[in-house]
Amino acid sequence: MDFLYLVLGIAGLLIGTELTIGSALAIAKKHHLSEFFVGLIVLSIGSDLPEIAVAIDAGMKGLMGQDASGVVVGSSVGSVVAQIGFVLGVAGLLSYLTLPRRYIVRHGAVLLGSTVFLFLAAVDGLVSRAEALTLITFYIIYLVVLLSREKVPEEVQVTVSDEPDRPWLKLIVGLVLVIASSELTVSSVVSIAEELHINQAVISVLIIGLGTSLPELSISLAAILRKRVHLSVGNIIGSNIFDTLIPISAAALLSPVLFDRELILFDLPFAFILTAVVLLLFVRKKGLQRGEAALVLALYLFYVGVKLTQLQ
């Protein structure tokens, strides 16, 4: 029964996120933002609402004496690896992914730096409130700088429906659905982990991490089918920056978050290496073609294989 609740919870997260993203795009139209910017900020934050909702719910459970650190840490780190490995790998198999070098260098450096900052905060096995504030501050500074530099040529403005059909109402409905589904997801994962004596972090990485990455996958594939590559890649980069800095920090502001040693020694370093490999391929190969995408996907499958051995 708990597994059914988990499936229903993830389904609710995905449906709520899709509602939120659609309405956010409609609202963003009047600001005339570039496709890369919308992917980097609007879509990435919108599609990461499941992670932040799960994190806040887990933090609330921590305040009540029930440790759910493994859920928030595992889902955040697992989502980062799934997005850069699985989502970008699948997208690269379908289309030649390109991005201007200046975007890769600037935002790629922020992404790698975010991973390093999270590692330094978690290396002692605990992310405190002070460390959480530092990570959140870094993200806010990044957003402020990004917003101050955003200039949109007429030819790259985002096009969405001229009649958004009550986007604010849809946004509220989506947010409510995401928050309610997060409660069901966290509760079911904790119950399953306790019943099967499985490490919360492992099951969160494999199930929630990939499950909550489905919005990014659907957005990226839809963008590619419409030949909006910048929107797709921007969504993945922005989402990973957000996932690295915000969900764990949000939970830690409510209750200190414990970091499993395996995540510190393997998962975070792997996320850094995989990200560095992808960025290097973008810079040296001028994009991600099928061969490079297959390599990225293979690295992700290796990661999944290693995590599955921990379930034995």
Cα(112)–Cα(108) distance, integer angstroms: 6
11 or 31, higher pLDDT = 11
Total residue count of the chain as it appears in this document: 312
Q: What's the whole-model pTM score? A: 0.78
Averaged pLDDT of the chain: 80
Instruction: State whether CATH 3.30.365.10 applies to domain 2-309.
Output: no
187 or 300, higher pLDDT = 300
Express each pLDDT in 270-296 by its tens digit. 999 999 999 999 888 777 888 999 999
Examine the pLDDT at 223 and tell me if it is beyond 80: no
Examine the pLDDT at 218 and tell me if it is beyond 60: yes
Of residues 259, 250, 244, 183, the one with CA closest to residue 209: 244
Of residues 230, 148, 220, 197, the one with CA closest to residue 311: 197
3-state secondary structure of 302: helix
Among the listed ranges 97-101, 106-110, 153-157, which one has the minimum average pLDDT value?
A: 153-157
